[in-house]
A and B are shown apart, each in its own frame.
Chain A
Amino acid sequence: EPEVTQTPSHQVTQMGQEVILRCVPISNHLYFYWYRQILGQKVEFLVSFYNNEISEKSEIFDDQFSVERPDGSNFTLKIRSTKLEDSAMYFCASSGTSGTQETQYFGPGTRLLVL
């Protein structure tokens, strides 16, 4: 069964450093997403991406964040200058063709720890 994969599974970084989280969405999906879950809190939407551009983003997704689809398979989230409060599980998700009223399939997550 096709699945979303994410690398690395864990990342430890120093405050102020840049990190890139990588995802390979399900191959025939057209919509891609990033969510995060801070320990003990809800899963929160960050951004959605379609047709090589951001289609929707939350207030959390400020100028420190960027997303990219550098090739036909990878989808990345870059945090330019990490802060302590960026420590969280980051989940990538993908969905098929319509983006709404459609199931989003999640990857296993990357646990980011900012020291």
Chain B
Amino acid sequence: AQTVTQSQPEMSVQEAETVTLSCTYDTSESNYYLFWYKQPPSRQMILVIRQEAYKQQNATENRFSVNFQKAAKSFSLKISDSQLGDTAMYFCALLNRDDKIIFGKGTRLHILP
């Protein structure tokens, strides 16, 4: 069975600090995608970053980067220089070739002023 696990239900960090959100997953596929989505209080789900499993290089989008460890099936998100606008629920997601996205339960991140 395919699973996505986010072990940190809630986190708080001070503005400008760096924070890392954890995600582990399980799949029998060799070719898949991993995503981090952000859902702010407005409820709009926004794509933060995407990683293709066949790419060894970790994806980066401005202040957001991932640490993709394929063998360990780990996919953590690092947010550098955190901002108040980063306050949101963050979901880790796995997309296999069967076209179903599996989401983790989410990590609620609070950026404190």
On whether the two chains bind one another, the answer is no
Chain B residues near A (Cβ < 8 Å): none
Chain A residues near B (Cβ < 8 Å): none
